[in-house]
Structure 1
Amino acid sequence: MVSITIKVQELLDERGMSQKSLAEKTGIRKAAISEICNNMRTSINREHLEKIVLALGLTSIEQLMHLDVEND
């Protein structure tokens, strides 16, 4: 089984930022930011990921996502 976790909320917490602040910085709807932060999305727009990476000053994809692979 493979599980991908988006770590946006964790990153916001580390930076003392709100979802609203990220929405304002990126131009992404607050509802979409909330869904991303709560890992409720089954797909995420690549443009949204790029905007989030820029807004948070990330330098690697590992900062944004966690991949968990369970071998049966």
Structure 2
Amino acid sequence: MTDAVSPVPDTEHWSYGSFQFDLDKARRTVPLVRDDGTAATFTVPEFVSEPRDLAEISRIVIAACERWEKRQGVGG
């Protein structure tokens, strides 16, 4: 499980974990963690660094995760 670092703006129960940077490939991986321990990650090019952009992508990933859970019949 990823430790929560700060809340994802405009979401409930989701936080960012510690970002990971791959300098060789010029990309960053953004972990997301829900209060119940559910986790997701996404990777973007290094130039995607504006907090608003990362929050928007995070909300898309969170929505997709929650839709997938509903299709699987998993809680949330």
Q: Same fold per TM (> 0.5)?
A: no
Give TM-score scaled by structure 1 length: 0.28
Structure ranking higher in strand proportion:
2
Give TM-score scaled by structure 2 length: 0.27
Higher relative contact order (CA 8 A, sep 6+): 1
